[in-house]
Amino acid sequence: MKTMGFGRAVLLCTMMGLTACSGNRTVGQPAPANAVSTPLAEILASPEAFDGQTVVLNGILTGQCASLCDFTYAEDRQSVTIFMGSVKAPRIAVGRPVRVTATVHRGERQVVLTARGLEVGSKGGAP
């Protein structure tokens, strides 16, 4: 019995250590390091100017769909849902900084953003 409890404790500590050490992650096609970010407020104010364009956003992940199909992205006091499209997102902790490369689509009632690349930074750090 003692061995079984010790084994579980070791496994738990290992899993916690791996989770805590998982720093930056990138999926899909990230933007070049020197790409200039577009403020979310600018996109939302004039979605027709960005329709069909690919933009780079720097903000915080504030929520994620359980099936990893989309996530809520926030920048200053504004937020949007960004759909993953063909990019498979990892499970991301709320509050993590993200750098998103996304295509903008002006819909009839809302702006739709589809991720092409996603860079996840360490909590409290930049992606």
Does residue 18 lie within any of the structural domains? no
Residue 107 is inside which H or E element, if any?
none
The answer to whether position 102 is within a domain reads: yes
The token pair that represents 99 in the structure block: 């750098």
Q: Which domain holds residue 48?
A: 26-120
Whether 125 is covered by a domain: the verdict is: no
Q: What is the pTM of this model?
A: 0.76
Query: Closest Cα to residue 125, out of 24, 18, 47, 26?
Result: 24
User: What pLDDT, on the 0 to 100 scale, is given for residue 86?
Assistant: 85
* CATH label of the domain that carries residue 65: 2.40.50.200
Domain assignment present for 37: yes
Does 20 map to a domain? no
Residue 21 covered by a domain: no
Task: Return d(Cα 125, Cα 127) in angstroms, integer.
Answer: 7
Cβ–Cβ contacts within 10 Å for residue 73, how many?
24
How much of the chain, in percent, has pLDDT values that exceed 70? 78
For the chain, the domain total comes to 1
Dump pLDDT digits (tens) for 26-67. Answer: 999 988 989 999 999 999 999 999 999 999 999 999 999 999
CA 49 to mean position of chain CA atoms: 24
